[in-house]
Amino acid sequence: MVNAGAMSASGNLMDFLDEPFPDVGTYEDFHTIDWLREKSRDTDRHRKITSKSKESIWEFIKSLLDAWSGWVVMLLIGLLAGTLAGVIDLAVDWMTDLKEGVCLSAFWYSHEQCCWTSNETTFEDRDKCPQWQKWSELLVNQSEGASAYILNYLMYILWALLFAFLAVSLVRVFAPYACGSGIPEIKTILSGFIIRGYLGKWTLLIKTVTLVLVVSSGLSLGKEGPLVHVACCCGNFFSSLFSKYSKNEGKRREVLSAAAAAGVSVAFGAPIGGVLFSLEEVSYYFPLKTLWRSFFAALVAAFTLRSINPFGNSRLVLFYVEYHTPWYMAELFPFILLGVFGGLWGTLFIRCNIAWCRRRKTTKLGKYPVLEVIVVTAITTIIAYPNPYTRQSTSELISELFNDCGALESSQLCDYINDPNMTRPVDDIPDRPAGLGVYTAMWQLALALVFKIVITIFTFGMKIPSGLFIPSMAVGAMAGRMVGIGVEQLAYHHHDWIIFRNWCRPGADCVTPGLYAMVGAAACLGGVTRMTVSLVVIMFELTGGLEYIVPLMAAAVTSKWVADAFGKEGIYEAHIHLNGYPFLDVKDEFTHRTLATDVMRPRRGEPPLSVLTQDSMTVEDVETLIKETDYNGFPVVVSRDSERLIGFAQRRELILAIKNARQRQEGIVSNSIMYFTEEPPELPANSPHPLKLRRILNLSPFTVTDHTPMETVVDIFRKLGLRQCLVTRSGRLLGIITKKDVLRHMAQMANQDPESIMFN
């Protein structure tokens, strides 16, 4: 199908051939799509279906099906993404426990399931049941003592190494695109870039399997980012089933945006947060229609996950919290401090991680991905095992840190000294002095915090699926909980201080350390990703804490401000730049004072622009031109003297049209004149049959004048999703600006290496 502009212009040629040659309208790998063109093509398709639908009932039904196919795709994506997320959750649960022991009654049961089915279990020793055996019990029949500990330690490391090795090998052999979080690439793809296979079926399969492996191995990574990638693979798969989406790169991206929302929705059980994440962080072109569909997909996915019920509590919410006290104005100060911490950690993390990834790209390090994963896994598990806060899975850790200390809580973090005379209701416990357990926990948390901060820098970016959300949140939650306990103890011991006097009387329950953990988690996540609105929404969907919007928001905004002061790029944009993808960020503002004429090619001193003339070049001339250059297309002008622009011809379509004409049309030889006008030019009597190519000419190429400020050009590229734009002065063609030129110019203006933009 040829360009819409050309089609409407040459309406009489419509019936010539519906799909003139195969592959017309598709793009090369690692190239940028033209959004306007995709949109035109879709409107044409739509028009054709609408006009056909009046012909017969069957066509009418087909047009209805076509109109509803968007919703059907969303339904399918939601169902598959929800199912996959549920399966991953269950598998991770089992394999994480496998590192510690095995269930004798049925080896496919996780620790909890094993003890749950066991009849002898009472409430108190839920975690101790005869069916569940630690490796030391099973292998040497010892459950206590140094040798049992060491054996368990070793088994833990061995399993982790096995999982990690399997994961990295699978990724290397079957689907190299399955590594990383995938969000930088998805952002780039959604902005209109082609990376073939990145969302393919193999990637889907391998990423799902390896995600289970790496999360179970206990590495410092999360499953949230990769789940977005998995959901986008689902989206890509289902959109390939409907020609409406499979044949149009623009429409396909609308589906992918919605799939990303479904991914976050199942990752956190946060459908609205997912939609906002897709809107704020991932998507490029997000019309309102996509907003509604995304919401639908996110909802179906969350609902499917809830039906699978992997956490066994039929809640959508991952870390459900219930706090019994409101927050007080004075607490805003520590919350903002946590925001500052989050911003600093975000900056630190991005800088170090990018430096390390660059090192990996440029030095020998990158040649041994398997070894790297093994080493990092070994270090992680060796250090993690002795500390209870790093040994448990990160989501359990976050859950524990978010928790408010109720009366029945057995956690070390809740080891407060109770007033023996107290006869209060269970859920209204006043602030109490911290016991020994809390002090121990503080030390362990501090060590765990340092460890997490360091190891995450080295983990994110290895050749395995790895998400950042959970480690960032863990860092923030640990810092937050420690601050929270600090404030709590300060308030308990110094009721009379002026900052506490107004709101914290003795015997009252003023400070909830769990809330500080929640705020800290939001701050750190915000510092790394620079999300704000979607972050707060995710946090309160995650915890059900609608009352705590103000603290969360205060921390998120502070964190963003602090982090932005050190550098505007979030981690995903930083990785996009590192990889040199042609991504035109909506958030970057271009404020320099250059004009289109400074950016366009040819520059001064360069050979003139390669153009076609409308009716004087032969087939051979054009073939030579195509052979000698590698441009994606050529402007067509009236003549070389006047240089008045009449249109633009795509390289790909030129090649196909010539090939086609040579095969099928009589009398087309190398000497044939090619013409783009309506009527053939007047030729000498004995000249060969001319070749009409108006069909492939885009009669409405996008032009700007040479005096157009670059900020306007950038805006136009961004909003209209152009691939290239022609530059004219008083109607004469002067040059061309491609997306790559724009990106290079922006890099240059920001004092970066323009060669860092690698693709077209």
Region 690-709 residues binding its own copies, contact defined as CB under 8 A: 699-701, 703-705, 707-709
DSSP-derived secondary structure for 711-742: HHHHHHHHHHT-SEEEEEETTEEEEEEEHHHH
Distance separating alpha carbons of residues 446 and 125, to the nearest angstrom: 29
| Residue 403 CB-half CA count within 13 A | 18
- Based on CB atoms, which residue is closest to its own copies, 326 or 680? 326
Q: Which amino acid is at 743?
A: L
- Based on CB atoms, which residue is closest to its own copies, 36 or 609? 36
- Based on CB atoms, which residue is closest to its own copies, 50 or 687? 50
Q: Determine the size of the site formed for its own copies (CB under 8 A).
A: 72
Max CA-CA distance within the chain? Answer: 115
Show contacts with its own copies in window 9-38 (CB under 8 A).
9, 36
Tokens read off for 640: 């070389």
Residue 721 C-beta: closest distance to its own copies, Å = 9
Show contacts with its own copies in window 256-295 (CB under 8 A).
271-272, 275, 280, 287-289, 291-292, 295
Site membership for its own copies, residue 587 (CB under 8 A): yes
- Based on CB atoms, which residue is closest to its own copies, 536 or 617? 536
Q: Which of 13, 20, 30, 39 binds its own copies (CB under 8 A)?
A: 39
Residue 11 C-beta: closest distance to its own copies, Å = 8
Residue 319 C-beta: closest distance to its own copies, Å = 13
State the CB neighbour count (10 A cutoff) for residue 106: 11
Distance separating alpha carbons of residues 98 and 160, to the nearest angstrom: 10
Show contacts with its own copies in window 510-539 (CB under 8 A).
532-533, 536-537
Show contacts with its own copies in window 629-658 (CB under 8 A).
638, 644-647
Residue 674 C-beta: closest distance to its own copies, Å = 18
Show contacts with its own copies in window 133-172 (CB under 8 A).
none
Site membership for its own copies, residue 244 (CB under 8 A): no
Distance separating alpha carbons of residues 347 and 571, to the nearest angstrom: 9
In the block, residue with structure tokens 């997000």: 286
Residue 647 C-beta: closest distance to its own copies, Å = 8
Give the DSSP H/E element, type plus range, for residue 612. strand 612-613
C-alpha dist (Å) from residue 524 to 477, 536, 657: 8, 12, 55
Residue 313 C-beta: closest distance to its own copies, Å = 12
**Residue 443 burial class via C-beta count within 10 angstroms: exposed 0-12, middle 13-18, buried 19 and up:** exposed
- Based on CB atoms, which residue is closest to its own copies, 34 or 137? 34
Contact between residue 720 and residue 696 where contact means Cβ atoms under 8 Å apart: no
SS3 state of residue 260:
helix
Show contacts with its own copies in window 302-331 (CB under 8 A).
302-303, 314, 316-317, 326
- Rounded to a whole number of angstroms, the CA Rg of the chain reads 31
Q: Minimal CA–CA distance to 193: which of 233, 242, 249, 237? A: 249
Q: Which of these ranges, 53-61, 202-210, 441-449, 543-551, lies near its own copies under the rule CB under 8 A?
A: 543-551
Show contacts with its own copies in window 444-503 (CB under 8 A).
none
Residue 681 C-beta: closest distance to its own copies, Å = 16
Site membership for its own copies, residue 660 (CB under 8 A): no
Strands 724-729 and 732-738: antiparallel
- Based on CB atoms, which residue is closest to its own copies, 677 or 748? 677
Helices (H) and strands (E) in the chain, counts: 29, 12
Distance separating alpha carbons of residues 212 and 166, to the nearest angstrom: 11
- Based on CB atoms, which residue is closest to its own copies, 398 or 553? 553
Residue 699 C-beta: closest distance to its own copies, Å = 4
Distance separating alpha carbons of residues 179 and 213, to the nearest angstrom: 13
Instruction: Please provide residue 506's backbone torsions phi and psi, each rounded to the nearest 5 degrees.
Output: -60, 140
SS3 state of residue 191:
coil
Site membership for its own copies, residue 296 (CB under 8 A): yes
- Based on CB atoms, which residue is closest to its own copies, 136 or 597? 597
Residue 518 C-beta: closest distance to its own copies, Å = 15
Site membership for its own copies, residue 681 (CB under 8 A): no
Show contacts with its own copies in window 706-725 (CB under 8 A).
707-709, 711-712, 715-716, 719-720
Q: Which of these ranges, 124-132, 508-516, 547-555, 685-693, lies near its own copies under the rule CB under 8 A?
A: 547-555
Name the CA dihedral angle for 267, 273, 275, 281, rounded to a multiple of 10 degrees. -90
Show contacts with its own copies in window 384-413 (CB under 8 A).
none
- Based on CB atoms, which residue is closest to its own copies, 289 or 493? 289
Strands 633-637 and 612-613: parallel
Show contacts with its own copies in window 324-383 (CB under 8 A).
326
User: Per-residue x/- mask for its own copies, residues 43 to 62, rule CB under 8 A?
Assistant: x--xx--x------------
C-alpha dist (Å) from residue 566 to 135, 679, 721: 48, 61, 30
- Based on CB atoms, which residue is closest to its own copies, 101 or 263? 263
Site membership for its own copies, residue 81 (CB under 8 A): no
Contact between residue 320 and residue 539 where contact means Cβ atoms under 8 Å apart: no
Q: Minimal CA–CA distance to 738: which of 699, 705, 702? A: 702
In the block, residue with structure tokens 């099906």: 65
Residue 560 C-beta: closest distance to its own copies, Å = 8
Q: Which amino acid is at 275?
A: V
Site membership for its own copies, residue 573 (CB under 8 A): no
Distance separating alpha carbons of residues 44 and 8, to the nearest angstrom: 9
- Based on CB atoms, which residue is closest to its own copies, 37 or 111? 37
- Based on CB atoms, which residue is closest to its own copies, 37 or 432? 37
Instruction: Please provide residue 565's backbone torsions phi and psi, each rounded to the nearest 5 degrees.
Output: -65, -25
- Based on CB atoms, which residue is closest to its own copies, 207 or 293? 293
Tokens read off for 564: 């932005």
Distance separating alpha carbons of residues 726 and 633, to the nearest angstrom: 11
Show contacts with its own copies in window 724-743 (CB under 8 A).
728, 730-732
Distance separating alpha carbons of residues 132 and 113, to the nearest angstrom: 10
Q: Which of these ranges, 211-219, 473-481, 505-513, 591-599, lies near its own copies under the rule CB under 8 A?
A: 591-599
Show contacts with its own copies in window 96-125 (CB under 8 A).
none
